[in-house]
Amino acid sequence: MSLIGLDLGTSYIKAGVLDIETLTIAHVQRVPFPAALPGLPPLRREYDPHQVIAAVRSALAAVAFFAEDVEGIVLCTQMHGIVMTTDKGEPRSTLTTWQDQRVLEPYPSGTGSYFDVMMARLTPDDIRLLGNETRPGLPVGLFFWLSEQGRAPDPSLTPASLADFVVAHLCETRPQTDITNAMAHGLLDVETLRWHDGVIERLGLRDMRLPEIVPHGAVTGWLELGGRRVPCYTPVGDYQCAILGALLQPDELSLNISTGSQVSLLREAAQFGEYQTRTFFDGRYAITVTHIPAGRALNALVRLLCELATAQGITLDDPWAYITSAAAHVNTPTMQANLSFFSSACGDAGELRQLVEDELTVGHLFRAAFESMAHSYRTFAHRLSPQAAWRRIVFSGGLVQKTALLQTIICQHFESEYRLSPAQEDTLLGLMVLGLAFSGRMSSIEAATAHVSDVYKLEATVS
């Protein structure tokens, strides 16, 4: 028997057939995520939800042919997306994603931005209990922006996360949510796992109808697929799903490195500090530092280096092959890099410094960039655990899994052994783990993780 896994990412909507008997992933299909709506003000990012639904249907259709025995659908989603949704799953707004920064627009009274005014209404304890997550791009900022303009959503509508909206629409039902996506709204008390009534009141959002929070694995809708009526299980956040897919153990440090990157550790109870505290599964939590510069920043350097060729109509086939080869032949350079070319955990003022003529090469530049990334990961890892209470590093994410040099440099900074996530499709493997528990084959998500870990033989590590 199999499940269909759906990952609603920022660049692609990905679907695959998850065989929960053999624990294999097959027939993975990717459909480009629709383009953002044109002509919007600079800080706004919105999408047509009907185009998203069409892309989801296309991805489902592409894999349903290979899953005649499908017994359910498990989903994860890019976090912080919002669609105002009816009780029948119909959209009554555009989709606003984590990339929307309108809360940084000037507040009419001239007292800073909407974000500044919102934060002034919150106490330090509020921010702690929200997981130390409050920042531009979260739905709470959109809700506050709308409320302050007298444009609060109709109380009959539910602000649904992207995947919760998709399930509600496909199944024609009222959207519900789990704690991973509830947390992503920016209004969840991560200790009580309930909506934070005090924050909701202080931000003037008491008339808004937030979605019902349901347990992991709850069936939130039924979908006709290939002549069968199959359950759709409660979607989860892609951050949590990727960590689950890496089969992270309590004594391992997660480094997820792709377009962006995160450093994470699992904890048995809520723990607070100079980092984010996120809900996880089976009552556990993840402490993390997110938005650390990675692939996006490196691609900015690649675009700079390729600009002259592009201007002459020349497209370089694979600049990364040369980049990694050249960087591998460079020892630690004098050049130093700060990859904060955009707002990130490392600041928002990128730079290259200590430049000398002999080091103005591609190899030196990218070796310096990799060294900068490794230094950041070590710094933030020790913020999570000053005692370095981990046994080894677990690498996940496309960038680090295909860049052996980056793995080596990071391990030199940590003086630690490591292992790779057992599958490049880490979110789909995470959905496999969830499917084992949600379908009742395993008693808990933790038990499902242990079972999959045994099959994938995680003791095989590289030092």
Domains and CATH numbers, the chain: 2-238 (3.30.420.40), 248-420 (3.30.420.40)
Place of tokens 């199944």: 171
Distance CA 154, CA 457 (A): 51
Contact 275, 289 (CB under 8 A): yes
Q: How far is CA 84 from the centre of its chain?
A: 21
Distance CA 195, CA 158 (A): 14
Q: List residues bridging with 292 in a β-sheet.
A: 261
pLDDT of residue 118: 97
Q: At a CB cut-off of 8 Å and minimum separation 6, what does 270 contact?
A: 190, 191, 277, 285
Tens of pLDDT along the chain (463 residues) come to: 799 999 999 889 999 999 988 999 999 999 999 999 999 999 999 999 999 999 999 999 999 888 878 899 999 999 999 999 999 999 999 999 999 999 999 999 888 999 999 999 999 999 999 999 899 999 999 999 999 999 998 999 999 999 999 999 999 999 999 999 999 999 999 999 999 999 999 999 999 999 999 999 999 999 988 778 999 999 999 999 999 999 999 999 999 998 889 999 999 999 999 999 999 999 999 999 999 999 999 999 999 999 999 999 998 888 999 999 999 999 889 999 999 998 888 888 899 999 999 999 999 999 999 999 999 999 999 999 999 999 999 999 889 988 999 999 999 999 888 999 998 889 999 999 999 999 999 999 999 999 999 998 765 455 5
pLDDT of residue 459: 58
Planar angle of CA 249, 194, 94, nearest 5 degrees: 95
pLDDT of residue 316: 87
Contact 45, 100 (CB under 8 A): yes
Q: At a CB cut-off of 8 Å and minimum separation 6, what does 18 contact?
A: 2, 3, 4, 5, 25, 74, 428, 431, 432, 435
pLDDT of residue 28: 94
Q: In terms of Cα–Cα distance, which of 254, 286, 256, 249 is closest to 271?
A: 286
pLDDT of residue 64: 87
pLDDT of residue 398: 86
Distance CA 51, CA 270 (A): 38
Contact 264, 287 (CB under 8 A): yes
pLDDT of residue 463: 52
pLDDT tens for each residue of 393-429: 999 988 998 899 999 999 999 988 899 999 888 999 9
Helix (H, G, I), strand (E, B) or coil at 31: strand
Distance CA 123, CA 134 (A): 12
For 409, the token pair is 């440099």
Q: In terms of Cα–Cα distance, which of 253, 257, 245 is closest to 286?
A: 253
Place of tokens 């707004």: 93
Other residues' Cβ atoms within 10 Å of the Cβ of residue 367: 25
Cα 184 to Cα 177, 232, 239: the distances in Å are 11, 20, 10
Distance CA 84, CA 158 (A): 6
Contact 452, 446 (CB under 8 A): no
Distance CA 233, CA 220 (A): 6
pTM (2 d.p.)? 0.91
Q: List residues bridging with 265 in a β-sheet.
A: 287
Other residues' Cβ atoms within 10 Å of the Cβ of residue 104: 18
Q: In terms of Cα–Cα distance, which of 128, 129, 100, 125 is closest to 115?
A: 100
